[in-house]
A and B are shown apart, each in its own frame.
Chain A
Amino acid sequence: MTELRILSPTAILGYGFPLASFHAGLDRDPHVIAVDAGSTDPGPYYLGSGKSFTQRSAVKRDLRYMIEAALTRKIPLIIGTAGGSGAKPHVDWNLAIVEEILKELKLTAQVGVIYSDIDRDFLIDELRNGRVKPLGPVDELTEEDILASTNLVAQMGLEPIMQALEDGAEIILAGRAYDPTVFAALPVMKGFDMALALHMGKILECAAIAATPGSGSDCLMGTLSRDSFVLEALNPERECTRISVAAHTLYEKSDPYTLPGPGGVLDLRETTFEQLPGGKVRVAGTKFIPTEGYFLKLEGASLIGYRTISISGVRDPIMINQIDEIIARVKDRVADNFQELRDYQLHVHCYGKNGVMGQLEPHPEPAHELGLVIEAVAPTQEIADTICSFARSTMLHYGYQGRKATAGNLAFPYSPSDVSAGAVYKFSVYHLLKVDDPKSLFPVKMGRSGL
């Protein structure tokens, strides 16, 4: 085998793709269809709650085309970070969709499921053994953080996915996986260069975002040969340019020259990007430098309470000029009124002043009108509702200095004015775990699905 072709239909499973692009990709006779389904970008809620940030019907739409194409062509379909965050509830949610599609298509498939959940007791032992360290500007992990995490996953490397392929999986549903692995597993198994395979995966995982004009909902094709890989957009309205592909290397990363992952670091210091005719780009020269010891990235999220919000606007200039003072007085009033409730957080986002940048805002001078979001987070929804409601009514009628508009201070777009927004999570674990065996934490479960 001298070249291996990979079709990446979309940046995130459920973000969609034009069928014309997908068919253009199939016309190039891919050896594997692979898609990344996850991200930590939407914040801690989705990992913590076990819910997907993509909608079921959108995921089903995308998967249906991929499953049909893969099974018809007898090529593997590999899905990484199933359900958005890759914990067991996410994987099971995605598996139910796969099974539903197989039944509807009257097909059966060998499905390999790879969970990525980490046992809390095991991790506490590893923490005590000194095998856990922070990743970036993060505090040291504590046993309390581990116990508080509602979901706790590790990002798998290539090895568990290669195992599932070797075991004969036609569809692989992986829990939390290092983004490039779903693209790189088959090529590495077939003896292609791991550095190039991973680097190609790193670009393919965002699909047409690396083309210009970029799109997170369009396909990208990768062709890997022995000494380089070529990227091609499949929609005639887009092309890959030397700059669009090189620039993508910067996206959502802190250092474009060294990209760390399970087992080692991709080194781009000698990488070349070469423009080819027809809107294609050839990439070569990337190296893989194994780290001393094999490290997995851990992610966990824990429940911190329940949120209630109230949205309103202020137009009165006399009030706007004193807004910081008024917000501070309202907070004092709430604290005074509910002295027995110490555990809540009350925050007022002030749009038109520093609502977007908070403390980083260099120009916090208020505009002629302000949008306020009163936000209460408390141990129960009922307390959050109470705090938000009281803060809202206090601010509505607060008698500030020089007030002329004595009928009310806030303009509400909605009735009811307050919204119970439910559970709130935070990232509790973002650390590295040293392991001896890259596969032992990610057992492959094979089963026949469909019909």
Chain B
Amino acid sequence: MRYVKDVALVIRSKNAGPYELTFDLMFPDLNVYNEVRHSITKEKIAALYQIDESKVLSIIHFEPAYAVKITIVRPRPSGDLGETDVYGAQQHTPLFELTY
């Protein structure tokens, strides 16, 4: 068992519009990308963020950037009452616990 964070170049989060939160994991080359990408599942993401699997909208593999993109429903629309991160830029760290 190895940590995805140890081989990823980029692990980041950001709003994709005011209603969705999107995560990008980028890898250094095609080999690492291919080795890791299938281990990232909706089930694991839902568990890390303690959300229902239906809130994980998509996991997309984007080979041109050796990247895996995960999009979830925002806990609330950006800026609504109770907001903690308007830009959604600091919601990525649970992904440091992803393994493959």
Contacts and interface: CB of A to CB of B under 8 A. Distances in A.
A254 B57 contact: yes
A253 B22 CA distance: 7
A289 interface: no
B58 A255 contact: yes
B73 interface: yes
A368 to B, nearest CB: 20
Nearest to B16: A254
Contacts of B94: 360, 362
Interface stretch (A163-171, A188-196, A244-252, A406-414): A244-252
A136 interface: yes
B60 A136 contact: no
B64, B74, B81, B91 — most chain A CB neighbours (10 Å): B64
B18 A254 contact: no
A426 B86 CA distance: 12
Contacts of B80: 44, 426-427
A247 B87 CA distance: 19
Contacts, number: 136
Contacts of B73: 137
B22 A44 contact: no
Interface residues of A, number: 44
Contacts of B79: 43-45, 425-427
Contact of A358 (B48, B51, B77, B82): B82
Contacts of B90: 356-357
Interface in B15-45: 15-20, 22, 24, 26
A362 B50 contact: yes
Nearest to B26: A247
Nearest to B49: A360
Interface of B: 10, 14-20, 22, 24, 26, 48-51, 57-58, 60, 62, 64-67, 69, 71, 73-75, 77-87, 90-91, 93-94, 97
Top-3 shortest CB links A-B: A43-B79, A246-B64, A246-B65
